[in-house]
Structure 1
Amino acid sequence: MNPARVVERIFKKFLPSQFTIAVLLTLLTVVLAYFFSGMEQEGRLVTILSYWEKGVWDSGLLVFAYQMMLILVLGHVLVLSPPVSKQITMLTRYATNTASAAVLVSVTTMLAAFFNWGLALIFGAVLARKVGEKAVKEKIPLNYPLVGAAGYTGLMVWHGGMSGSAPLKVAEKGHIADLMKNVPQAEAGISSLPEFISTQHTIFSWWNLLLFALLLIVVPIVLYAVGKKVKPTEINLKIFQPRSVGEKKVSGAERMDRSRILALVFSGMILVAFFIRYGSDLTGFNITPNMLNLFMFGLAILLHHNFRNFLEALEEAVKGVSGILIQFPLYFGIMGIMGQSGMVEDISGFFVAVANATTLPVFTFFSGGLVNIFVPSGGGQWAVQGPVVLDSALKLGVPLPKAVMALAYGDQITNMLQPFWALPLLGITRLRAKDILPYTLLLMLVGTIILITGLLLL
């Protein structure tokens, strides 16, 4: 019996929808906070629920959710434009079966993720979608969920790349001192901490690049082997066709909607504003959500040639944001409970307490992975766990860059288990969490072995 097929059947039978997963995870967090947090017993449940409510409506996180919705929608709109669609279609000509498609999607997605996680998030999703559409159009037998899982692999390498939250934050002058100033027990050792930790010692260190290279090689090999064994699946994808094709010539005010000149002027204005505002950031590969969204907005209008075509593509792309719209706030509530109740520090502190100089990076890795399940935000996780990690590394004599990257590795690898960041991909590919999880969990196991071995030996 095929083990991959058995696991796939189990997940499809017992794993609920991604919304139900978010609800169950919320209830689990409430229970854990009630019984295991250090809060006062009186009024504990009321306090926990207040933390949850504040997290759900956290204004900063809601802005982030809207940014993610725009990344998803604008990226999809951009891909639906004739020029980009043509280029990606050309790329998919190498996807002749499930195995080759999985390799193509995983390699390109992981390479994109090393440069920027947001870019990889949308690129992997749309490339997987295009491969699925090709399979429908050309009647190619394909295991679409495996290809979808391959499109998610960028999230298992992103934190060790050029947009990694933890290594980029510690590279800022003064960040470490600001991070540690509210940790009383660390006051004695603050003077021993550096002003910053250069990315030359984290992201661009030889050992981090080596681990990334190993993942870039091993993950596609695993997907190729699995792709040779899994059976094709039914693919229900509607290929986008603009309604405006074949319509009669318009007149009156509708001409403005179809005006190439007006679209060219407006998109040109957006792109000029983009380069004025973000030109210096481009040279340092510092890509932010706002930066990416503004560029995709201007480019999408330009490549669709007029507002009518742009709006038709927008209408199609909006269908994929329902998961983010309602599920992100649920995860924000979980993050509110975990952060305000002190559970993040408790988890991190437990692992640190049982560690020594050799095992601290490994325990930091596992604590980062565990916290990521409840707090799926690299930057937010570093803000809470960072002081504990740096303080313990300093006391045990562990190199600070290694400690920082250990947390980053743990955070990124459990993205293969946590469906939070898969929501954009699921929206575009029309897959469900239960479809891709059997394969992403296998990749999580493979990645964990590689990263832990690296932390112990390198």
Structure 2
Amino acid sequence: MIGKLSSFMVRIVNRYLPDPLVFVVLLTIIIFIWGLYVVEPKEGQNSIIAIIGFWGDGFWSFLAFTTQMAMIVVTGFALANSEQVKKLLKFLASFAKTPKQGVALVCFFGGLASAINWGFGLVVGALFAKQVARNLKAVDYGLLIACAYIGFMTWGGGLSGSMPLAASDASNTIVKNHLEGNPIPLNETIFTAYNLFVIVCLLIFMPILATFMVPKNPKNIDPALLAEEPSFQRELPKDATPALKLEESRILAYLIVILGIAYLVFYFMDKGFMAGLNLNSVNLIFLIAGLFLHKTPMAYMRAIQAAAKSTAGILVQFPFYAAIAGIMDHSGVGQIITEFFINIANKDNYAVWAFFSSAAINFAVPSGGGHWIIQGPFVIDAAKELGADFGKATMAIAYGEQWANMIQPFWALPALAIAGLGVRDIMGYCMTALLFACPIFIIGLYFF
């Protein structure tokens, strides 16, 4: 049954789901036309000109947030590709003696890594799955990679969760415009009992579920897919020039690491951990950690260059999301959506409605940061009207996005590239995880 369902979904995705960039262009057109029907332009101004103005004014309004999202990806990717992390993965993989133990370990450590940093988790999960596959010859490689991606469901409530960290930043545009400049502290989002419940349940039950998905007759693995990843370290020749010696100098790298650690210590002493943990501080922590583990400036730069290609979607799509948000904010479209939620929800069940709406929007906006730009304003405004919890409303958007990723393969692409597989190889397993994970999120949002 899983195989048939997987084949059906892959056919639908391949035939009807365009690249996310095309989706954001289509979404721009839809919101533009919708805005024309509801906008009330200034006296003497044409509706079309008004909407064009809203679009253009919003286009570059989230540049800082776009850069923060790109940095999460590259710093996490670079850290995961350090030699020390790879050695740790080899050690952990040695504990898997059977296929069931292997898939459970990959699912657990993929989830744990994604809760620390989602860019790190995406890569380290795939690398760990490859290492387990090298050790266990009779294991389904597609299931291992699927387990790495299933672990990604913890990311939105983790330490690098885009939405709770953005909501905790007083300089964030949505916080300034829709929360009157009052950020939502992390002890109302990430560090809450319901978020802990959701993450712990995912870390426990998803690995158990994975063991029930182990096929009796796994497909043979192409040995070429399990080749070792290249090292970013470089041995200098004896006649290396002074410039090369500087580029591969550990002293220079460690001086920056010491400077970064000193800054972070004083920063958290001054701000406190809860108030100081935001997108900027998380990115600095991972940048310093990556530089330390790669040991030299150019080794780290080579790792960053390898990771940078994964930011293309963020860099191009996020300005379009910001422009769409500009139209929704100023034309009245956002208010219409807000009123829709106010009419169908109440204070108690609002977070659940926001969760499912976020999952639906994930088809058009497969990015947590993009979700915050598009959905954050009307979810927060509706929460105001209903008297609902702002923190839980924010986490509902995050949960809906991370849950729906199991049928939206956009963020699986980096892991699939590392593994050398295609979407068809993992979709059935991910859809199974989607079904069984749903109650965890609903219980966390409604009963806690």
Tell me the secondary structure at the aligned position of residue 225 of structure 2: coil
Q: Return the alpha-carbon distance in structure 1 between the equivalents of residues 271 and 99 of structure 2.
A: 38
Tell me the secondary structure at the aligned position of residue 238 of structure 2: coil
Tell me the secondary structure at the aligned position of residue 102 of structure 1: helix
Q: Deviations over 1:16-59 (max 9, x none)?
A: 4999331442254245435655535997777666655555x425
**In the alignment, which of 374, 379, 384 is matched to residue 378 of structure 2?**
384
Q: Return the alpha-carbon distance in structure 2 between the equivalents of residues 260 and 141 of structure 1.
A: 42
CA contact (8 A) 1:73 1:321 kept: yes
Q: Return the alpha-carbon distance in structure 2 between the equivalents of residues 247 and 110 of structure 1.
A: 38
Cα distance change on mapping 1:445 and 1:242 into 2, 3 Å: closer
Q: Return the alpha-carbon distance in structure 2 between the equivalents of residues 400 and 262 of structure 1.
A: 44
**In the alignment, which of 223, 232, 250 is matched to residue 239 of structure 2?**
250
Q: How does 1:166-315 map to 2 (within 5 A)?
A: 169=167, 179=178, 206-228=193-215, 231-232=218-219, 234=222, 236=225, 239-242=228-231, 248-253=237-242, 254-278=244-268, 280=270, 283-284=273-274, 286-315=276-305
1:452 matches 2:442: yes
1:88 matches 2:74: no
Tell me the secondary structure at the aligned position of residue 18 of structure 2: helix
Uncovered stretches (5+) of structure 1, i.e. residues with no partner: 183-194
The alpha-carbon deviation at position 225 of structure 1 amounts to 1.8
Q: Return the alpha-carbon distance in structure 1 between the equivalents of residues 153 and 92 of structure 2.
A: 23
Cα distance change on mapping 1:263 and 1:250 into 2, 3 Å: farther
1:147 matches 2:144: yes
CA contact (8 A) 1:33 1:341 kept: no
Tell me the secondary structure at the aligned position of residue 250 of structure 1: coil
Cα distance change on mapping 1:343 and 1:83 into 2, 3 Å: same
The alpha-carbon deviation at position 391 of structure 1 amounts to 1.3
TM-score normalised according to structure 2 size? 0.74
Tell me the secondary structure at the aligned position of residue 94 of structure 1: coil
CA contact (8 A) 2:145 2:426 kept: yes
Q: Deviations over 1:186-225 (max 9, x none)?
A: xxxxxxxxx9988767655555544443333322222222
Q: Return the alpha-carbon distance in structure 2 between the equivalents of residues 310 and 357 of structure 1.
A: 48
1:353 matches 2:348: no
Q: Deviations over 1:271-321 (max 9, x none)?
A: 333433455567338533332333333333333333343344344444544
Aligned match of 2:64 = 63
CA contact (8 A) 1:348 1:385 kept: yes
Q: Return the alpha-carbon distance in structure 2 between the equivalents of residues 181 and 245 of structure 1.
A: 51
Aligned match of 1:128 = 125
Q: Deviations over 1:407-453 (max 9, x none)?
A: 55445433444556556656665666665544434333323233335
Cα distance change on mapping 1:456 and 1:320 into 2, 3 Å: closer
Cα distance change on mapping 1:318 and 1:412 into 2, 3 Å: closer
Cα distance change on mapping 1:330 and 1:12 into 2, 3 Å: farther
> Structure 2 counterpart of 1:306, which letter?
T
Tell me the secondary structure at the aligned position of residue 227 of structure 1: coil
Percent identity reads: 27
TM-score normalised according to structure 1 size? 0.73
Cα distance change on mapping 1:356 and 1:5 into 2, 3 Å: same
CA contact (8 A) 1:8 1:438 kept: yes
CA contact (8 A) 1:244 1:309 kept: yes
Tell me the secondary structure at the aligned position of residue 295 of structure 1: helix
Cα distance change on mapping 1:369 and 1:284 into 2, 3 Å: same
CA contact (8 A) 2:122 2:152 kept: no
> Structure 2 counterpart of 1:140, which letter?
K
Q: Deviations over 1:349-386 (max 9, x none)?
A: 32331345665443343334334555543643334311
1:362 matches 2:361: no
**In the alignment, which of 20, 28, 40 is matched to residue 22 of structure 1?**
20
Aligned match of 1:187 = none
Q: Return the alpha-carbon distance in structure 2 between the equivalents of residues 325 and 238 of structure 1.
A: 31
Cα distance change on mapping 1:391 and 1:28 into 2, 3 Å: same
Aligned match of 1:102 = 103
Q: Return the alpha-carbon distance in structure 2 between the equivalents of residues 135 and 108 of structure 1.
A: 12
CA contact (8 A) 2:54 2:323 kept: yes
Equivalent pairs counted in the alignment come to 432
Tell me the secondary structure at the aligned position of residue 236 of structure 1: helix
